[in-house]
């Protein structure tokens, strides 16, 4: 039996649509003055069809705005499709956003019972699993504190702990694990692996392609609201990373997310110019040019490198080198990488966000290939502390 079925599902949003009384009044005033803008349509999904069998683990990859989160919201009944049919059979536990289903004025203890009831657990079921939930979350000393005083990481830990102990037929997890610490991420991944071994159905959306490949045998590649490809996770990840955004070594396409606009991502051989071939024995420089329209408190930047199979081999965060102040305007972040990578093709990923939320995560902003050299040095493993330099442009 198929646990999840999508049959030509489409989802349309109307930009500028009136949703509140205030918006309706403003729209009426604009009609009177003749300044009413024409509504614009945005198709988040277009004729998406796929099935997920009972006990199968499926990953979904794609760039920001590709429709991944919309699929999950339709799948879990949060939003209805504009056309087509979506069926999800059995009890569903979904973790889509930090703190979803939590009331900020209630304590952690009260929210465990509230969130469990929302997810379909009886009071007896919650009571039986309560100690395990608290132990898993690691927030026992704050259990009787209102959730509004929790950090985003604490709220996430408690929310995932409840969902993980629901024993659902279908477990749906979005990229929210990105805000958890390393230890908690390992616990969450271990719990998802256990759910898979127990024969539960898992749908996982993540930019951590190595983890996605290890958890999910099959994956969907979403692009512009449609399924571009479907197949074995290893093949999908390889094709997705190899697609890049433009020619290898550079990205001329603009990436927007809120007040942030990534202008260009380039990989060049240190001191040899942009046109020089990239050799394994030479250092390389990764430049990320971006434009910030307004100040974002707590903003941080990470640059990471993955292999064609999705294994992350380099991950550098600007904040690790000390406090960074991102001022509005055009800026350039540069990472100087010593010769620590082997021969092969790699993808450059760019992440912007704060401790509370992710603003942008593009795992294939550019691609580059390292070639061999005549020096013939053996492979070696070195550990470097790489700084990230951020400076104004122009």
Residues 364, 245: contact at Cβ < 8 Å? yes
Instruction: Report the alpha-carbon distance of residue 214 to residue 296 in Å, rounded.
Output: 34
pLDDT the model gives residue 127:
85
pLDDT in tens, 218-227: 999 998 888 8
Burial code of 137-173, b = ≥16 C-beta within 10 A, e = fewer? bbbeebbeeebeebebbbbbbbbbbbbbbbebbbbbb
pLDDT the model gives residue 375:
45
pLDDT the model gives residue 304:
92
pLDDT in tens, 176-215: 565 556 677 777 777 778 777 888 888 888 877 777 888 8
What is the arithmetic mean of pLDDT over 365-370?
85
**What band does 275 get if pLDDT is binned at 50, 70 and 90?**
low
Beta partners for residue 303, in sequence order: 316, 350
Is CATH 1.10.8 correct for 99-166?
A: yes
Tokens of 315: 């991950």
CATH of the structural domain 1-90+169-182+196-242, one choice from 3.40.50.720, 3.40.50.620, 1.20.120.1200, 3.40.50.300:
3.40.50.300
Span 244-392: which CATH code? Answer: 2.70.50.60
Burial code of 311-339, b = ≥16 C-beta within 10 A, e = fewer? ebebebebeeeeebebeeeebbbbbebeb
**In the block, residue with structure tokens 């009384």:** 21
Q: Which is higher by pLDDT, 306 or 151?
A: 306
Q: Which is higher by pLDDT, 175 or 135?
A: 135
Domain boundaries of the chain, sorted by first residue: 1-90+169-182+196-242, 99-166, 244-392
Instruction: Report the alpha-carbon distance of residue 100 to residue 144 in Å, rounded.
Output: 19
The reported pTM is 0.64
Tokens of 246: 């433009």
Tokens of 354: 């704060």
Q: What are phi and psi of 188, to 5 degrees?
A: -65, -45
pLDDT in tens, 299-321: 889 999 988 777 888 888 887 77
């Amino acid at each position: 039996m198929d646990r999840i079925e999508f049959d030509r599902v489409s989802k349309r949003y109307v930009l500028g649509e009136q949703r509140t009384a205030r918006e309706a009044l403003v729209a009426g005033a604009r009609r009177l003055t003749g300044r009413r803008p024409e509504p614009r349509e945005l198709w988040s999904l277009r004729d998406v069809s796929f099935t997920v069998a009972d006990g199968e683990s499926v990953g979904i990859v794609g760039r920001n705005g590709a429709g991944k989160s919309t699929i999950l919201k339709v799948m879990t009944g949060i939003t209805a499709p504009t056309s087509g049919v979506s069926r999800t059979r059995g009890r569903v536990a979904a973790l889509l956003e930090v703190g979803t289903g939590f009331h900020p004025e209630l304590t952690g203890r009260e929210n465990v019972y509230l969130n469990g009831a929302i997810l379909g657990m009886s009071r007896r079921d919650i009571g039986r699993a309560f100690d395990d939930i608290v132990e898993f979350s690691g927030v026992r000393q704050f259990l009787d504190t209102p959730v509004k005083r929790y950090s985003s990481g604490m709220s996430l830990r408690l929310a995932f702990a409840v969902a993980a102990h629901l024993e659902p037929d279908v477990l749906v997890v979005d990229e929210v694990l990105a805000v958890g610490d390393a230890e908690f991420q390992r616990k969450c991944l271990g719990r998802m692996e256990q759910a898979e071994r127990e024969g539960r159905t898992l749908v996982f959306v993540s930019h951590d392609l190595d983890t996605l490949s290890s958890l999910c045998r099959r994956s969907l590649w979403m692009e512009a609201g449609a399924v571009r490809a479907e197949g074995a996770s290893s093949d999908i990840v390889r094709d997705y990373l190899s697609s890049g955004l433009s020619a290898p070594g550079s990205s001329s396409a603009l990436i927007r997310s809120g007040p942030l606009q990534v202008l260009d991502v380039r990989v060049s051989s240190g001191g040899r110019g942009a046109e020089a071939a990239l050799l394994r024995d030479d250092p390389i420089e990764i430049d990320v040019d971006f434009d910030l329209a307004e100040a974002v408190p707590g903003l941080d930047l990470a640059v990471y490198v993955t292999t064609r199979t999705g294994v992350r081999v380099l991950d550098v965060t600007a904040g690790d080198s000390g406090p960074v102040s991102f001022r509005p305007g055009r800026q350039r972040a540069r990472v100087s990488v010593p010769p620590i990578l082997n021969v092969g093709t790699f993808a450059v990923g760019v992440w912007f966000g704060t401790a509370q939320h992710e603003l942008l995560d593009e795992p294939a902003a550019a691609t580059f290939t390292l070639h061999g050299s005549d020096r013939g040095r053996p492979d070696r493993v070195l550990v470097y502390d790489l700084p990230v330099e951020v400076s104004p442009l122009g």
